[in-house]
Amino acid sequence: MITTVVGRTFLEAYNKKYESNKSPKEFFEEVYFELFYNHSKYMQWITNSPFVQMKSGQKPDTLTSDERKEKLENLFSKVENEEPDGSFALGFPASETKEYASTSGLVSDVKLPTTSDDVYLSWIGSGLGIGVAGGFSILFDDPEITLKTFEGWQVYRKYLNDNSLSKLRGNQINTWNGQWLTYSLDSEVFREDFDFTDLQTQKIFEVNATLIEANTVNWSALFFSLSQLYPKGEKTGYVYGFGQTNKTIGFIPFYLKSGSRIIEVYRQLFGSFDTDKKRFEALFGMHIKRACELGSIGLQALRPEGITKYMGESKNLSFSKPDDTLNYFAYKTWLTAMLTKNKEEITNYTLELAETILRYRNQGTKNDRKTLIDSKLFASKTRRLFIEALIEMIKDLESKDLEIIKQLKDEVHLMTNEEFAYFCTLLKFDYAFVEKKS
């Protein structure tokens, strides 16, 4: 299945890079088994697989090297003699030899010949899955990404075998892969000579009194790092979750250039990129499942989770909380990127408009203008309501401001509903921003 495909891509890239000529079985025995299973702490726990089936009295952390070899032999004999099933061919259907599994209705009756190579490759592929928050993993059928993931395996093994880190949890290879790729591909934070303390500061590992474990990375953080590897690129990822039963999201195109685009828009709007990058990037991205429902992952999927509560509502940023300024930067960046999708120039048009509207409000004496702006204009759910509010403003305006607002009215009229929603929210944030500054 798909794990086999990715495993094959990786093995070809591996053989080329390390100038070797390993067959899938050789690689599995000499590299994969040695890294993943031939130690007291495993790197990957596959339910029902030969590696976790213990005889009475056996425990994974007290197995002798001979006992581990025996488990490897058990796997070999299964691969040679049995129809592949999910317990030893990862991502494959459940066995039907004894009875139909409850998920058997999903299995197609197209008979695919599976070789023993395919089975070993499926293990390799599954070890390359990149875990992200939400219980899903992503596989990229890409030589560079898989080779980079492979480098991380050795780092994880090194820490697992480190006596001073005896509390470090095993079996977290996919979670680790996500953190490792995010960290190692980010040229601005990655250091060649990193140590465990660096990883702890990066929040890759969570350390407490009884346990050290790898945190799960957000897909958006991974996305921003991958976009450094492929700044103009687009990669199809396969999003899934393996467990007792699997979850299949399927093939989702990742528009990595959207990540570079966000950074570029930010730079153009606010000058240099001097904010806390990690905190800034963490604001982007909806839940992975919602993102995948969009069919492809790009700018739209990067929508900051916090922004939704402001859209089409009178609620606005208050700038009284310290986080609000960073949120404002992130929200404005995303909205601007959405509005200028196909255009090159990024302007601060909305900022000028916000100033005009603020001027209008300050010229009033009573609270009626404030009410009009806050609870009518910015709370508009549709273009019609927005334009009605503008028309109400027009009667009190003169000369230049009148021209600006009239022009705004015409522009809003021509926007699509989607554009309008972004535009109105952006204008609202800018308004709150200039109001705070004044």
Q: Which residues bind another protein (CB under 8 A)?
A: 1-2, 5, 86, 91-94, 99-108, 110-113, 141, 234, 236, 238, 240-241, 245-251, 253, 290, 292-296, 300
Alpha-carbon span 63 to 39, nearest angstrom:
9
Smallest separation, CB 418 to another protein (Å):
8
Which neighbouring-strand residues pair with 206?
A: 213
Comparing CB distances to another protein, the nearer of 105 and 322 is: 105
Taking the CA atoms of residue 117, residue 122, residue 128 and residue 129 in that order, the dihedral angle to the nearest 10 degrees is 160
Smallest separation, CB 381 to another protein (Å):
15
Comparing CB distances to another protein, the nearer of 236 and 362 is: 236
Please calculate the CA angle 99-135-213 and round it to the nearest 5 degrees: 115
The kind and range of the H/E element at 9 are helix 2-17
Amino acid sitting at position 52 = V
Q: Which residue has the tokens 């599976």?
A: 114
Comparing CB distances to another protein, the nearer of 381 and 436 is: 381
C-beta separation of 391 from 277 below 8 A: no
Smallest separation, CB 84 to another protein (Å):
11
Smallest separation, CB 238 to another protein (Å):
7
Smallest separation, CB 293 to another protein (Å):
5
Write the CA distances from 358 to 14, 117, 290, 352, integer angstroms.
61, 69, 36, 10
Comparing CB distances to another protein, the nearer of 104 and 201 is: 104
Comparing CB distances to another protein, the nearer of 292 and 393 is: 292
Burial bucket for residue 211 (CB in 10 Å: 0-12, 13-18, 19+): exposed
Output phi, psi for 220, to 5 deg. -70, -35
Comparing CB distances to another protein, the nearer of 48 and 268 is: 48
Smallest separation, CB 236 to another protein (Å):
5
Comparing CB distances to another protein, the nearer of 151 and 293 is: 293
Smallest separation, CB 245 to another protein (Å):
4
Write the CA distances from 41 to 51, 112, 213, 324, 388, integer angstroms.
12, 35, 13, 44, 67
Q: Which residue has the tokens 């089936």?
A: 53
Burial bucket for residue 145 (CB in 10 Å: 0-12, 13-18, 19+): buried
Under 8 Å CB-to-CB from 321, ≥6 apart: which residues?
A: none
Smallest separation, CB 42 to another protein (Å):
22
Burial bucket for residue 159 (CB in 10 Å: 0-12, 13-18, 19+): middle
Which of 143, 131, 124 is CA-nearest to residue 13? 143
Comparing CB distances to another protein, the nearer of 255 and 360 is: 255
Comparing CB distances to another protein, the nearer of 111 and 395 is: 111
Half-sphere exposure of 422 (CA within 13 A, CB side): 19
C-beta separation of 242 from 252 below 8 A: no
Comparing CB distances to another protein, the nearer of 215 and 300 is: 300
Comparing CB distances to another protein, the nearer of 143 and 328 is: 143
Taking the CA atoms of residue 93, residue 99, residue 101 and residue 104 in that order, the dihedral angle to the nearest 10 degrees is 60
Smallest separation, CB 102 to another protein (Å):
4
C-beta separation of 198 from 213 below 8 A: no
Smallest separation, CB 240 to another protein (Å):
7
Alpha-carbon span 93 to 27, nearest angstrom:
24
Smallest separation, CB 168 to another protein (Å):
30
